[in-house]
Amino acid sequence: MNAALFSDLARSGVYTAPTAQRDKMEAAAAGFAHFQINLAGLKSKSAVLNKIGRALKFPPYYGKNFDALNDCLSDLEWQPANGYVLFVDGAQLFHDADPKNFAILLEVFQSAADAWRDAGKPFWVLLDISIPDVQMFCV
């Protein structure tokens, strides 16, 4: 993998990616703002939304709901960058405990990626979980 892959707007979006290859991915994402979000041990929507907000240093007006998450992820004015990469670890428990809200979370991530693509900036979400219907990010 190289930095050009992360710069490819057409391919940016939500993917699964093994944690074991994280160093290579971080090196390739150099120049983009990248965030580590560890969801290990979290089962509830509110805990997950709170953790994401803290990891990305969302402003105080963040409402800790999916609409607010979408708004903040689609703006990120307080984190100016040429692109964004979110490394999401420990998502399996939330996926297993609340599949409905996990699916909504993926939709929000994809919506943000689409909004950034329209704005001409790549936005990637790389989850360390293997789930159907989410493409594996290959290094």
pLDDT, one tens digit per residue, over 57-104 is: 999 999 999 999 999 999 999 899 989 999 999 999 999 999 999 999
Is the pLDDT reported for residue 30 higher than 90? no
* Residue 111 resides in a domain: yes
CATH of the domain at 123: 3.30.370.10
* Residue 135 resides in a domain: no
Question: What per-residue confidence (pLDDT) applies to 97?
Answer: 96
Contacts for 74-82 with beta carbons within 8 Å, 24 or more apart? 74/111, 74/112, 74/115, 74/116, 76/33, 79/33, 81/32, 81/33, 81/121, 82/31, 82/32, 82/121
State what percent of residues in the chain have pLDDT above 70: 85
Question: What per-residue confidence (pLDDT) applies to 99?
Answer: 93
Q: The domain containing residue 28 runs over which residues?
A: 3-127
pLDDT, one tens digit per residue, over 64-73 is: 999 999 999 9
